[in-house]
Amino acid sequence: MQTARFFIGQVVKHRVFPFRGVIFDVDPEFDNSDEWYESIPADVRPRKDQPFYHLFAENAESEYIAYVSEQNLLPDESGTPVRHPQISELFDGPVDGAYQLKGAHRN
Protein backbone atom coordinates (compact mmCIF):
# COMPACT_ATOMS: atom_id res chain seq x y z
CA MET A 1 0.00 0.00 0.00
CA GLN A 2 1.23 3.48 -0.80
CA THR A 3 0.65 6.74 1.03
CA ALA A 4 -2.05 8.99 -0.43
CA ARG A 5 -0.64 11.85 -2.48
CA PHE A 6 -3.72 14.08 -2.14
CA PHE A 7 -5.60 15.18 0.98
CA ILE A 8 -9.18 15.63 2.16
CA GLY A 9 -10.39 19.08 1.14
CA GLN A 10 -7.98 19.38 -1.79
CA VAL A 11 -9.36 20.46 -5.16
CA VAL A 12 -8.25 18.08 -7.92
CA LYS A 13 -9.00 17.50 -11.58
CA HIS A 14 -9.09 14.37 -13.70
CA ARG A 15 -6.02 13.78 -15.84
CA VAL A 16 -8.08 12.79 -18.93
CA PHE A 17 -11.75 13.68 -18.49
CA PRO A 18 -13.08 17.25 -18.05
CA PHE A 19 -14.13 17.22 -14.41
CA ARG A 20 -12.82 18.40 -11.09
CA GLY A 21 -13.82 18.10 -7.47
CA VAL A 22 -13.10 18.24 -3.76
CA ILE A 23 -11.77 15.13 -2.02
CA PHE A 24 -14.00 14.08 0.87
CA ASP A 25 -12.69 10.56 1.55
CA VAL A 26 -9.71 8.36 0.65
CA ASP A 27 -9.47 4.58 0.35
CA PRO A 28 -5.87 3.29 0.70
CA GLU A 29 -6.61 0.93 -2.20
CA PHE A 30 -9.58 0.09 -4.43
CA ASP A 31 -12.74 -0.50 -2.38
CA ASN A 32 -15.64 -0.48 -4.82
CA SER A 33 -17.59 -3.24 -6.59
CA ASP A 34 -16.08 -5.60 -9.15
CA GLU A 35 -18.93 -4.60 -11.47
CA TRP A 36 -17.85 -0.94 -11.25
CA TYR A 37 -14.21 -1.88 -11.88
CA GLU A 38 -15.00 -4.15 -14.83
CA SER A 39 -17.13 -1.40 -16.44
CA ILE A 40 -13.93 0.58 -17.07
CA PRO A 41 -12.41 -0.27 -20.48
CA ALA A 42 -9.43 -2.59 -19.95
CA ASP A 43 -7.01 -0.32 -21.80
CA VAL A 44 -7.61 2.53 -19.31
CA ARG A 45 -8.51 0.54 -16.18
CA PRO A 46 -6.41 1.72 -13.22
CA ARG A 47 -4.49 -0.56 -10.88
CA LYS A 48 -6.32 -1.50 -7.69
CA ASP A 49 -3.21 -1.23 -5.46
CA GLN A 50 -3.24 2.55 -5.15
CA PRO A 51 -5.31 5.13 -3.26
CA PHE A 52 -8.78 5.88 -4.62
CA TYR A 53 -10.52 9.16 -3.85
CA HIS A 54 -14.18 10.07 -3.30
CA LEU A 55 -14.91 13.48 -4.83
CA PHE A 56 -17.70 15.99 -4.76
CA ALA A 57 -17.28 16.41 -8.51
CA GLU A 58 -18.50 18.75 -11.22
CA ASN A 59 -18.27 19.04 -14.96
CA ALA A 60 -19.79 21.66 -17.28
CA GLU A 61 -23.26 20.09 -17.04
CA SER A 62 -23.72 18.66 -13.54
CA GLU A 63 -22.49 17.82 -10.05
CA TYR A 64 -22.06 14.25 -8.81
CA ILE A 65 -19.97 11.91 -6.64
CA ALA A 66 -16.91 10.43 -8.36
CA TYR A 67 -14.53 7.63 -7.37
CA VAL A 68 -11.12 8.14 -8.95
CA SER A 69 -7.73 6.43 -8.80
CA GLU A 70 -4.71 8.44 -7.74
CA GLN A 71 -3.01 7.90 -11.11
CA ASN A 72 -5.86 9.79 -12.80
CA LEU A 73 -5.80 12.91 -10.61
CA LEU A 74 -3.85 16.15 -10.74
CA PRO A 75 -4.00 19.14 -8.39
CA ASP A 76 -6.43 21.80 -9.63
CA GLU A 77 -4.71 25.13 -9.17
CA SER A 78 -7.38 27.28 -10.86
CA GLY A 79 -8.48 28.81 -7.54
CA THR A 80 -12.11 28.56 -8.69
CA PRO A 81 -14.56 27.24 -6.05
CA VAL A 82 -16.25 23.91 -6.77
CA ARG A 83 -20.03 24.32 -6.99
CA HIS A 84 -21.16 20.89 -5.72
CA PRO A 85 -24.07 21.45 -3.28
CA GLN A 86 -22.84 18.95 -0.65
CA ILE A 87 -19.51 20.71 -0.06
CA SER A 88 -21.02 23.09 2.48
CA GLU A 89 -22.23 20.13 4.59
CA LEU A 90 -18.64 19.01 5.33
CA PHE A 91 -16.37 21.92 4.50
CA ASP A 92 -15.73 25.62 4.93
CA GLY A 93 -13.93 27.53 2.24
CA PRO A 94 -12.20 27.48 -0.02
CA VAL A 95 -9.29 29.04 1.80
CA ASP A 96 -6.03 29.33 -0.14
CA GLY A 97 -7.36 26.91 -2.78
CA ALA A 98 -8.47 24.12 -0.42
CA TYR A 99 -11.52 23.35 1.70
CA GLN A 100 -11.31 22.90 5.48
CA LEU A 101 -13.36 20.25 7.29
CA LYS A 102 -15.95 21.78 9.57
CA GLY A 103 -15.21 21.19 13.26
CA ALA A 104 -17.93 18.53 13.71
CA HIS A 105 -16.35 16.32 11.01
CA ARG A 106 -12.74 16.34 12.18
CA ASN A 107 -11.25 13.27 13.85
DSSP class per residue in 47-95: PSSS-EEEEEEE-SS-EEEEEEEGGGEEE--S-PPP--TTHHHHEEEEE
Q: What pLDDT does 20 receive?
A: 98
Q: What pLDDT does 101 receive?
A: 95
- Is the pTM value of this prediction over 0.95? no
Chain segment 4-38, per-residue pLDDT in tens: 999 999 999 999 999 999 999 999 999 999 999 99
Q: What is the mean pLDDT of residues 46-66?
A: 97
Q: Please check the confidence at residue 106 and state whether its pLDDT lies above 80.
A: no
Chain segment 72-99, per-residue pLDDT in tens: 999 999 999 999 999 999 999 999 999 9
